[in-house]
Amino acid sequence: MFFKNANNLLEKELLKEIDLDKIPKHIAIIMDGNGRWAKKRNLPRSFGHKAGVETIREIVKVCSNIGVKYLTLYAFSTENWKRPADEVNALMNLLVEYLKGELEELHKNNVIINYIGDISMLPDICQRELINSNIKTKKNTGLMLNLALNYGGRNEIVRAIKNIAKEVYNKNIEIDKIDENLISNYLYTSNIPDPDLLIRTSGELRISNFLLWQIAYTELWFTDVYWPDFKPYHLYKAIKDYQSRDRRFGNVK
Ligand code: FPP
């Protein structure tokens, strides 16, 4: 097992209740509440993001250990550019720090680092670190850590439609061949199965433009806990809940 074992009693107890043969293959997380976590402590918002990175470190390790195959984290949305420049800069710096600091260990532990979204808008250093991390790890076979950066679900769908329209115009695709499968193949997530479980922290009950196409049949799980306070214990709770659900995909039993 990579990294560390469950380290507190509650966590260990809850882990025992999880069926390790039915771990969700793909977990997506809207990591919300960093700003409020910082505000509660009279700290600048960027401290909340810094604390949020610690949670990312821990949750990535746990997901890898219990056999999650894909973990998609909403790290920066197409709407997040509206934030003050110093907060955007702090987030970009944290991304670079995280990749530089974790790459070797993640690689050693078979993790693939991947990204979705239009990264061409990110600072060069971020693009470089992301591309390097991806190149170095893409042949790994363990957990895929999929970072959503300058990502928006609607933007992703618009991009797919434009690309499909070009192919139709160039007579490479017949209109009758356009189906759900084809559209999925034109999304950033073309090589990734749809999420089984979507977690949102901080008490907000919305999707915020995340993976709009992909979550058609995803199980949703919300918690009031702010992202920096989200612990493996909460992840196990979400997975236990997920395992108790009856996924019918529109069918009957
Ligand atoms: C939401 O909290 C969080 C974000 C918009 C950014 C999440 C990014 C990180 C934790 C760090 C950078 C990423 C990596 C991969 C190292 P919020 O600021 O919206 O919180 P609030 O709703 O309480 O204001």
pLDDT digits (tens, 9 = 90+) for 145-159: 999 999 999 999 999
Query: Which pLDDT belongs to residue 241?
Result: 97
Q: What is the mean pLDDT of residues 202-220?
A: 98
**Cα separations (Å) of 72 from 9, 151, 188?**
28, 11, 12
Coil, helix or strand for 39?
A: helix
Q: How confident is the model at residue 7 (pLDDT cuts 50, 70, 90)?
A: low
The answer, yes or no, to whether any atom of ligand 1 lies below 6 A from the CB of 228, is no
CATH topology of domain 21-154+193-243: Undecaprenyl pyrophosphate synthetase (3.40.1180)
The answer, yes or no, to whether any atom of ligand 1 lies below 6 A from the CB of 52, is yes
Model confidence over 121-135: pLDDT tens digits? Answer: 999 999 999 999 999
**Mean pLDDT across the chain, nearest whole number?**
96
pLDDT over threshold 60, residue 169: yes
Please state, for a pLDDT cut of 90, what percent of the chain lies above it.
91
pLDDT over threshold 90, residue 253: no
Strand partners, 198: 28, 220
Query: Which pLDDT belongs to residue 12?
Result: 85
Task: Clarify whether 7 is annotated catalytic.
Answer: no
The sheet with strand 26-30 has its strands ordered as 112-116, 144-151, 70-77, 26-30, 197-200, 219-222
**CA gap 227, 26 in Å, rounded:** 19
Query: Which pLDDT belongs to residue 10?
Result: 77
Query: Which pLDDT belongs to residue 146?
Result: 98
Model confidence over 81-103: pLDDT tens digits? Answer: 999 999 999 999 999 999 999 99
Q: Which residues lie closer than 8 Å to 43 by C-beta, 6 or more apart?
A: none
For the CA atoms of the chain, what is the radius of gyration?
19
pLDDT over threshold 80, residue 110: yes
Q: Which helix (H) or strand (E) holds 76?
A: strand 70-77
**Cα separations (Å) of 245 from 22, 183, 221, 249?**
12, 28, 11, 12
Query: Which pLDDT belongs to residue 252?
Result: 85
Q: What single-letter DSSP state applies at residue 244?
A: T
CA of 75 to the centre of ligand 1 (A): 6
Q: Which of 2-11, 56-65, 103-112 has the lowest mean pLDDT?
A: 2-11
- Number of neighbouring beta carbons within 10 Å of residue 146: 24
Task: Clarify whether 146 is annotated catalytic.
Answer: no
Phi/psi-derived region of residue 211, left when phi > 0, alpha when psi is between -120 and 50, beta in every other case: left
Structure tokens at 143: 């957990």
Q: Ligand 1: which atom is nearest the Cα of residue 80?
A: 5
Q: How confident is the model at residue 8 (pLDDT cuts 50, 70, 90)?
A: confident
Spell out the domain ranges in the chain. Answer: 21-154+193-243
**CA gap 42, 37 in Å, rounded:** 9
The answer, yes or no, to whether any atom of ligand 1 lies below 6 A from the CB of 80, is yes
The answer, yes or no, to whether any atom of ligand 1 lies below 6 A from the CB of 107, is no
